[in-house]
Chain A
Amino acid sequence: MLYNYLLPIILVLALAAYLKGSGRAKELWRQDGLRSLHSLPLYHGLFVAFWTAVPALAIWSLWQMAEGHLLTLAVKRGLPQELQSLSGNEFSLVMNDVKNAIRGDIVTSLNNATATGSARLYLATQQGWQSLMAYLSLGLTILGFYLSYRNISLELRARNIVERLSTIFLMLCSAVAIFTTLGIIMSVLIESIAFFREVPVLDFLLGLKWSPQTAMRVDQAGSSGAFGAVPVFAGTILIALIAMAIAIPIGLLSAIFLSEYASEQVRTWVKPLLEILAGIPTVVYGFFAALTVAPMIRDVGSNLGFAVSSESALAAGLVMGIMIIPFVSSLSDDVIHAVPQSLRDGSLALGATSYETIKNVVIPAALPGIVGSVLLAVSRAIGETMIVVMAAGLSANLTYNPLKAVTTVTVQIVTLLTGDQEFDSAKTLAAFALGLFLFIFTLFLNIIALYVVRRYREQYE
C-alpha cells in the first residue's frame, strides 16, 4: 500500500526537506548577519533535499528493476517440479499466467489450485518485499535528511556541492549522446561484419551496381544479387543536394527577412507557421511528392522534350527541401536575431544598405549558428525515408540526372529491413552495412564542417 505511493511520498519529503533545510540556513543567516553564510539558503535547501531524495530514489528504482526477477525466483519454488524445470523464457509464460490469475478475470492454463496458490504466494511475497522496500527507502530519506541537515552551518559550501552535483548531472546528460552513438555502432557493426564476410568491402564500396536480389529460400537458388553501394550513396547525395538547393535559399532568405526586414508582428506569426512544415508526417509529403509533384514534373518535362521518369529524384528532393525549410529558417532566425543591434548600427551608420549590413556583418556574426542549422537540415535530408520511397522509387540508378529515379541509403535500409528478410542473408545484412557506412560518411562531412566553422567564426562581444 505504502509502496504504491512511495514515489510521491519521497518527492513530498524532499520538498519538505528543502523547506526545512533552507529555513534552517535562513535562521542561521538572520542570527549572524550579512555575509555570514557561505551559500544562499536555497542551496542548503537543495543540498538537504538531494540527500533526502536521491538515495531513497536510487534504492527504489533498483528495486523496480529487480522486483520481477526476484519475485519469479520466489514463486518458482512453490510450483510443481516440471514447471520449475522450464527454461527462463518458457517460465515467463507461467509467470504471465500467475499474474493473470492475480488479476482474476482471465482463464489460465494452470490448474486452479496451482494458480491460486502461486498467485497467493506471489502476492504475499510481493507485499512483504514491497513493504520492506518502502520502509527501507523511507528510512533512507530520514537518514539522508538527518545527516545532511546536521551539516548545515555557516561554513557549509552548499552552493559548491549543489553546483558540483549539477555539473555531474550535465556531464551525465552529455554522455547520453555518446552512449547512443556506441549503441548505434554496436547494433550495426556485428551484422555489418557478417555482411562483409559474404560481400567483400571493396565490392561494396566501389561496386557500381546495386540489386539486392538474392535468393531467400534454400530452394530458391535464384539470382545472386549485386551489392555495390556507389549508386545508393550517389542517389543520397543527389537527393540531398536537390533538397538543400530548395531549403537553404528559401530557409535562409526567410530567416533573414523575418529577423531583419519583417515587422515584429509578421515575425510572430510567420515563424511558427513555417515550423508546421517540419511536423507534417513524411507519409503525407510522400503522397504529395508522388501524386502531385512527380506527375507535374513529368508533364512539364515531356512538354519540354525531356525524358522524365514518373519517379524522379527531382520530385522527392523538391518536396524534401520544403520539409526541411524550418530547420534552416527558424534556427537561423534565432541566431540572427541574437546578433547585437550595435553591430548593425555600426554598419548602417557607414551608409551601408540593409542588404550590405546583413551580408557583411550580420550573417558572418551569426555564421556558426547558421551553419549548425544547415547541417541539421542536411542531416535530416540524408536521413529521410518515406518521401523518397514514395516519389523517387527504389531503383538504384547511378546517375546525376535529377529527372531519373534514384534511391537512397535510408530507403534501402528501410526496405531491406521491412521486406521479406532472413537472419543472415546478405540481402538483410546489407541494411546494416549501409547504415554503418552512412554513419562514417556523415562523420566525415561533419568533421569538415567543424573545421570550416572554426575557421570562419566571428565572435562578437
Chain B
Amino acid sequence: ARDYISVVGSSTVYPFATVVAEQFGKTTNFATPKIESTGSGGGFKLFCSGLGVNYPDITNASRAIKSSEFNQCQANGVGDIVEVKIGYDGIVLANSKERAPLKLSRKEIFMALAMQVPDPQDPTKMIANPYKTWRDVNPQLPATQIEVLGPPPTSGTRDAFVELAMESGAKQFDSIKALKKADKKAYKKICHTIREDGAYIEAGENDNLIVQKLQANPAAVGIFGFSFLEQNADLVQGSFIEGMEPTFEAIADGSYPVSRPLFFYVKKAHVDVIPGMKGFLAEFTSEKAWGDEGYLADKGMIPMPEAERAEYAQAVKELKTLKK
C-alpha cells in the first residue's frame, strides 16, 4: 500500500517542490512525498500513463501541458487534472564578475545566437549567422568572442529561452515579422533555430557546472535559472536585458522580460485516496510557501502577483479541473 505522495516532473520545479515536500513531511503525520526529477516531458509521460497507485499523483512542469499530452492523459483514463501555476522562473544570461556585465537587447540576443539572421545589407535576405564577436552584433558591446553555454535542444529551458528571448528579438526585424504572416513555418524556423557553429555550446543541464565554467572562462556567457544567479552573486552577474538587470523584483513585476511560469498538475482521482494529498496541496498553495515572503521565494522562485495566487489557491481548493 502506498502511503506517500509520488511527484514527478520538471527539474526546474524540483528544487521548489522539494522544499514544500520537506516542510509538509516535517510538520504533519504524513510521510514526506517522493519527488522525482524526470524533466517536464518525462513527467507528463509518467503522469498520463494512468490512474492508480503505480502512477504518480502529481507532475511538475516548467511549461503548460501540451494538448497531445492532455489527450494522452484522457486516453489513459486520467480524466480530471487540476492545473496549478506556482510562480515564475527567471532565465538569465550571466558572465563572470571579472568582466563587465553585458547590456543586451533581445534583438541582439537573436542576432548573436540565431542560426540565420537577416543580411545587414539586405534585410529581406537571410544569411548564415556571420557574427563572431559581440562587437559584431553591436559596436557598444565588448570585442569578445560570442561563446554562450546554454541548455541543449532537449531541454525545456531552451524552449522557453528561444521563445521568450529569441523570438521576440527576431520580431523586431520587420522582414521577419512580415514572414510570420506569410510563412509561419519559415518564421518559426528562423526564430527558433540556434546556431550550431560552436558559438552556442550545449552544456547540459547542470547549472552549477555552467556557473563554474563561467568562472574558468570569463569570456563566456551562460544561460540558466535565476536561483543559481542569486546563490552565486559573488561569482557571476546577470546580463541586462532591455536595460533591466535580472533582480528578484524586476522579474516579479515583469519588467525583466525573460521569465517563464512554473506549474504542477494533480490527478483529481488521487486526491482523496493517497494519504496527505490535500494537505500537500494546501501547503504548496499557502502564503508561507509561495507568498512574497514565503520560503519558495527564498529559494529563488519568483512569486505570482497576489491576485493570481488567490485565483489558483481557490482553484486548488475546489479542485477545478482542466478542460481542453
> A residues bordering B, Cβ < 8 Å?
87-97, 99-100, 102-103, 105-109, 211-213, 215-218, 220-225, 286-287, 290-291, 294-295, 298, 309-311, 389-390, 393-395, 397, 404-405, 407, 415-423, 427-428
Name 15 A/B residue pairs within 8 A (Cβ), A-sorted. A87-B77, A92-B51, A92-B54, A96-B273, A213-B194, A215-B192, A222-B192, A291-B209, A298-B217, A311-B203, A395-B196, A395-B200, A418-B205, A420-B156, A423-B69
Q: Which chain A residues border B212 with CB–CB below 8 Å?
A: 290-291
CB B213 to nearest CB in A, in angstroms, measures 7
Contact of B201 among A87, A93, A295, A395 (CB under 8 A): A395
CB B78 to nearest CB in A, in angstroms, measures 9
9 further A-B pairs in the complex, CB-CB below 8 A; given A415-B152, A420-B159 = A96-B2, A96-B53, A96-B274, A109-B272, A310-B147, A311-B203, A393-B201, A393-B202, A419-B155
Centre residue among A90, A99, A294 by max chain B CB count within 10 A: A90
**B216 and A291 contact, CB distance less than 8 A:** yes
How far, in angstroms, from A394 to B275 measured CA to CA in the complex? 42
Residue B188 interfacial (CB < 8 Å): yes
Please give me the residue from chain B that is nearest to A395 by CB atom: B202
Please give me the residue from chain B that is nearest to A428 by CB atom: B41
**A415 and B188 contact, CB distance less than 8 A:** no
Centre residue among A223, A290, A393 by max chain B CB count within 10 A: A223
**B39 and A394 contact, CB distance less than 8 A:** no
Please give me the residue from chain A that is nearest to B40 by CB atom: A420
How far, in angstroms, from A393 to B77 measured CA to CA in the complex? 40
**B213 and A290 contact, CB distance less than 8 A:** yes
Please give me the residue from chain A that is nearest to B275 by CB atom: A106
**B68 and A422 contact, CB distance less than 8 A:** yes
Contact of B154 among A89, A395, A427 (CB under 8 A): A427
Known: A213-B194, A393-B201. A222 touches B189 (CB 8 A): yes
**B202 and A421 contact, CB distance less than 8 A:** no
Known: A89-B51, A92-B54, A291-B216. A390 touches B206 (CB 8 A): yes
**B67 and A218 contact, CB distance less than 8 A:** yes
How far, in angstroms, from A311 to B2 measured CA to CA in the complex? 44
Q: Which chain A residues border B205 with CB–CB below 8 Å?
A: 415, 418-419
How far, in angstroms, from A397 to B199 measured CA to CA in the complex? 12
Residues facing A in B141-166 (CB within 8 A) are: 147, 152-156, 159
How far, in angstroms, from A417 to B38 measured CA to CA in the complex? 9
Known: A390-B204, A421-B154. A96 touches B159 (CB 8 A): no
**B269 and A222 contact, CB distance less than 8 A:** no
How far, in angstroms, from A405 to B204 measured CA to CA in the complex? 13
Contact of B269 among A93, A108, A217, A309 (CB under 8 A): A93
**A221 and B50 contact, CB distance less than 8 A:** no
Chain B 268-294 per-residue mask, 1 if CB under 8 angstroms from chain A, else 0: 011011110000000000000000000
Chain B 49-89 per-residue mask, 1 if CB under 8 angstroms from chain A, else 0: 01111110000000100111100100001000000000000
How far, in angstroms, from A89 to B53 measured CA to CA in the complex? 8
**A394 and B152 contact, CB distance less than 8 A:** yes
**A287 and B42 contact, CB distance less than 8 A:** no
Q: Which chain B residues border A224 with CB–CB below 8 Å?
A: 189
Residue B1 interfacial (CB < 8 Å): yes
**B41 and A89 contact, CB distance less than 8 A:** no
Please give me the residue from chain A that is nearest to B185 by CB atom: A221
**A415 and B270 contact, CB distance less than 8 A:** no
**A418 and B42 contact, CB distance less than 8 A:** yes
Residues facing A in B222-251 (CB within 8 A) are: none
Q: Which chain A residues border B194 with CB–CB below 8 Å?
A: 213
Closest 8 CB pairs of A and B: A419-B154, A99-B1, A109-B272, A89-B52, A394-B202, A421-B41, A92-B52, A221-B188
**B51 and A420 contact, CB distance less than 8 A:** no
CB A388 to nearest CB in B, in angstroms, measures 9
CB A319 to nearest CB in B, in angstroms, measures 14
Q: Which chain B residues border A107 with CB–CB below 8 Å?
A: 275
How far, in angstroms, from A407 to B201 measured CA to CA in the complex? 11
**A310 and B72 contact, CB distance less than 8 A:** no
Please give me the residue from chain A that is nearest to B272 by CB atom: A109
**A103 and B3 contact, CB distance less than 8 A:** yes
Please give me the residue from chain B that is nearest to A431 by CB atom: B154
Contact of A213 among B30, B68, B153, B272 (CB under 8 A): B153
CB B315 to nearest CB in A, in angstroms, measures 20
How far, in angstroms, from A309 to B220 measured CA to CA in the complex? 11
Please give me the residue from chain B that is nearest to A292 by CB atom: B216
CB B146 to nearest CB in A, in angstroms, measures 13
**B41 and A310 contact, CB distance less than 8 A:** no
CB B50 to nearest CB in A, in angstroms, measures 5
